[in-house]
Amino acid sequence: MAFLCSSPLLFFTMFMLSFIFLMCYSTDTMNLMNGPIKDSQNESLVSAGNRFELGFFTPEGSSPNKRYLGIWYYKVSPKIVVWVANRDKPLLNTNGVFVVSNDGQLKVTDEESGDMHWRANVSSRLQPSVTREVTLMDSGNLVLSDVLYSRGVVLSRTHVWESFLNPTDTFLPA
């Protein structure tokens, strides 16, 4: 016997609660399917345990139009930045986009002009049978992986690039 909701109000309430939950949910993984992180939308990745956040920022005391993609401790004030991607070439507006591109590279670009401000040095080619995903770990490491799925189940995961192998001037505790 199928369960039928006898009260439209109860159904509506449950639907709205589910919708609100999905809107508040933050992710720690990005791939081609779920799209880029856009500075203009204040989008970010938060590690699964809410320890680190990756997004665009302007350093305190810096020119307000210089924008960087970085990783910082989540919900710590003032912001403690531990890694910066485009430290040599800041964006000069809020048109920054962080994406896993069609060729499997991690890139920071200006969405309006198309100028590239940073690219990870990923040497392996994207294979047609895998999904390339970037995940922010609770260690603060940003990891790009080739993931092989079968019917929604992960069969294998191979790391092809990570921020810990491209350090800045900050060491994180183990």
Model-level pTM? 0.78
pLDDT digits (tens, 9 = 90+) for 122-166: 987 888 888 899 999 999 999 999 999 998 899 999 999 999 998
The CA dihedral of 13, 15, 16, 20, to the nearest 10 degrees, is: 140
pLDDT digits (tens, 9 = 90+) for 16-70: 444 333 333 345 676 656 789 999 999 999 999 999 999 999 998 888 889 999 9
**Token pair of 166, please?**
């491209």
pLDDT higher than 90, residue 99: yes
Sequence-separated (6 or more) residues with CB below 8 Å from residue 163: 71, 83, 140, 141, 142, 143
Pick the closest to residue 44 from 31, 59, 54, 33 (CA basis).
54
Q: Give dist(CA 89, CA 77) in Å, integer.
A: 25
**Domain spans of the chain, in order of start:** 26-165
**Omega prior to 78 cis, within 30 of 0:** yes
Sign of the alpha-carbon dihedral angle for 100, 105, 106, 109: negative
The CATH number for 26-165, chosen from 3.40.50.300, 1.10.3720.10, 2.60.40.10, 2.90.10.10, is: 2.90.10.10
